[in-house]
């Protein structure tokens, strides 16, 4: 277990769904702020944010199933991010929290959006940090998230880099190949050569990822469409395939808590031409046989998020967008700016 920063402790909570590990700020009391991590990571990425919350707020950062110190349990991808979202709601119940301010990073942004969609009365405010598109990851086009194929070709578990998966499985802490967790952290989670002070803890965090068809990356199906595979029904990456994940309905909720959207201008993971999107890689010539812009355009991820949030605002809600000069991890790369934006958001909620 990685050493925790002073003031933070680890608890294990029985929720009736999974035994959930939760980091808790022991120094404060106040309104609950629940911080949900992204894919191939854990609550460890939230420690600095937890300690910087303004007075009157108390941080809780759970590990999702199959990550960190939480129980490894299968992920039913046909429910989208529903297994993860239901785990978060079960944790709120177990902690006796009627409502909480929810903060989600990357895949965690999709998780907290799903909580908002399913249980809006539990959400005091929502903060999306470099979130997955409301229409999932890969296999859609345009601002409205139109699916490019009926089977979500190119999305889901088949899209994982096998060398990266092998490095996770083997616990590789080195930098001998571009696809080790350390190099993915420093090359994609952050930008511009930034080296996190807690780099060793973040590598430890990535290496807690449970590997397999029921967890990361998930299974895949054969497809007649380029690039030859389609989304499966099990595991983490398939939860974000567009046929399984669509939270654009938050725009139509009667209850609309305020939303903060923070993202990095140099994000290569969640972008309008993401380097983790097979269509972008095909366009760049890195994946052979790309059928062209009409059939398989790069997914405009940020454009889609902005379009849904614009609808959210047009239908009676409110949101604020903050773009920072960083990559995929604003809370790590630009902590002061991120913490200030979050504090202002919480104060106004």
> For 199-251, what is each residue's pLDDT tens digit?
999 999 999 999 999 999 999 999 999 999 999 999 999 999 999 999 999 99
Give percent of the chain with pLDDT exceeding 90.
98
Give the pLDDT score at 284: 97
Q: Break the chain down into helix, strand, coil percent, rounded to 5.
A: 35, 20, 45
Torsion, Cα 92 98 101 103, to 10 degrees, reads 20
- Check pLDDT > 80 for residue 2: no
Torsion, Cα 226 165 304 290, to 10 degrees, reads -20
> For 277-318, what is each residue's pLDDT tens digit?
999 999 999 999 999 999 999 999 999 999 999 999 999 999
> For 65-96, what is each residue's pLDDT tens digit?
999 999 999 999 999 999 999 999 999 999 99
**Cα–Cα distances in angstroms (integers) from residue 217 to residues 56, 157, 202, 209, 231, in the given order:** 38, 5, 19, 10, 11
List, in order of start, the domains of the chain with CATH numbers. 8-348 (3.40.50.1820)
Give the pLDDT score at 1: 65
């Amino acid at each position: 277990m990685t050493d925790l920063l002073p003031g933070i402790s680890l608890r294990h909570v029985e929720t009736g769904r999974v035994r959930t590990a939760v980091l808790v700020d022991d120094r404060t009391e106040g309104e609950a702020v629940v911080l949900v991590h992204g894919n191939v990571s854990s609550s460890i990425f939230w420690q600095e944010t937890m300690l910087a919350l303004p007075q009157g707020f108390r941080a809780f950062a759970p590990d999702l199933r199959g990550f960190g110190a939480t129980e490894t349990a299968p992920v039913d991808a046909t429910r989208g991010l529903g297994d993860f979202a239901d785990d978060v709601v079960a944790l709120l119940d177990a902690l006796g929290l009627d409502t909480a301010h929810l903060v989600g990073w990357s895949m965690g942004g999709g998780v907290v959006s799903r909580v908002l969609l399913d249980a809006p009365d539990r959400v005091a405010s929502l903060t999306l940090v470099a979130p997955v598109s409301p229409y999932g990851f890969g296999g859609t086009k345009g601002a409205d998230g139109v699916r490019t194929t009926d089977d979500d070709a190119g999305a889901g578990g088949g899209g994982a880099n096998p060398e990266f998966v092998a490095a996770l499985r083997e616990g590789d802490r080195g930098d001998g190949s571009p696809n080790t967790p350390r190099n993915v952290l420093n090359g994609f989670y952050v930008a511009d050569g930034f080296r996190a002070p807690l780099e060793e803890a973040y590598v430890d965090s990535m290496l807690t990822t449970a590997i397999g068809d029921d967890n990361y990356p998930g299974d895949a199906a054969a497809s007649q469409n380029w690039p030859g595979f389609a989304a499966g029904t099990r595991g983490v990456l398939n939860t974000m395939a567009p046929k399984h994940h669509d939270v654009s309905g938050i725009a139509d909720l009667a209850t609309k808590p305020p939303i903060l959207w923070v993202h990095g201008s140099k994000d290569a993971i969640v972008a309008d031409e993401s380097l983790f999107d097979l269509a972008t890689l095909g366009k760049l010539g890195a994946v052979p046989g790309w059928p062209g812009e009409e059939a398989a355009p790069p997914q405009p991820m940020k454009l889609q998020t902005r379009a849904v949030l614009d609808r959210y605002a047009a239908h009676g809600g409110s949101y604020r967008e903050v773009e920072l000069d960083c990559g995929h991890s604003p809370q790590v790369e630009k902590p002061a700016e991120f913490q200030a934006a979050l504090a202002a958001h919480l104060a106004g909620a």
